[in-house]
């Protein structure tokens, strides 16, 4: 069981599915979880890439399809907000949701966000696997 955040999933999706091994391995498992915020965060990045001319509309359409089909169990944010409050003094509200989910499931959080990777284990005892971002 593992929780994946938007930054780690983006590293995988932007690498055309040949992304970092920890993400590829996690997504081949049936026990991948994320707050349902994940879809909105990843979608925002894709739309931004399209507006800036980094990705064409067809690529964004394919990326959105891959996002929707990703084998990730989405957990409603409403179930996590109270627990996330414990982490919100040190993390963004979005990041706190991912940490709260990992803590509640007692599993590792997979992230490409250095802030989460540095804060979650030290302050909250949540295990983290850090995925370095690819140069783009």
Kindly give the confidence (pLDDT) of every residue in the chain, 136 residues in length, as a single tens digit, with 9 standing for 90 and above: 999 999 999 888 877 555 556 666 667 776 999 999 999 999 999 999 999 999 999 999 998 998 999 899 999 999 999 999 999 999 999 999 999 999 999 999 999 998 898 887 778 889 998 887 765 4
Q: Is 136 part of any domain?
A: no
**Has residue 107 been placed in a domain?**
yes
Domain count, the chain: 1
**Structural domain contains residue 122:** yes
Burial class (CB in 10 A: 0-12, 13-18, 19+), 78: exposed
Cβ within 8 Å of residue 17, ≥6 positions away? 24, 66
In a domain, 53, yes or no: no
The Cα 104–Cα 88 span in angstroms is 15
Q: Are 33 and 3 in contact (CB under 8 A)?
A: yes
Return the pLDDT at 41.
97
pLDDT at 19: 56
From residue 82, how far is each of 30, 79, 87 by CA, in Å?
26, 7, 10
Backbone phi, then psi, for 77, in 5-degree steps?
-55, -35
| pTM across the whole model | 0.89
On whether residue 55 sits in a domain, the answer given is no
Residue 9 domain-assigned (yes or no): yes
Range of the domain at 115: 2-37+72-130
Asked, for residue 21, whether it belongs to a domain, the answer is: yes
Residue 44 within any structural domain of the chain:
no
């Amino acid at each position: 069981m593992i929780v994946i955040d938007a930054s780690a999933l983006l590293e995988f999706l932007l690498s055309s599915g040949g992304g970092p091994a920890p993400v590829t391995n996690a997504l081949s498992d049936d026990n991948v979880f994320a707050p349902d915020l994940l879809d909105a965060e990843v979608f925002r990045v894709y739309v931004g890439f399209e507006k800036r001319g980094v990705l064409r509309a067809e690529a964004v359409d394919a990326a959105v399809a891959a996002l929707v089909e990703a084998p990730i169990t989405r957990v409603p944010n409403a179930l996590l907000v109270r627990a996330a409050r414990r982490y919100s003094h040190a993390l963004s509200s979005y990041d706190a949701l991912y940490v709260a989910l990992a803590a509640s499931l007692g599993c590792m959080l997979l992230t490409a966000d250095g802030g989460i990777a540095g804060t979650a284990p030290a302050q909250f005892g949540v295990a983290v696997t850090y995925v370095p971002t690819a140069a783009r």
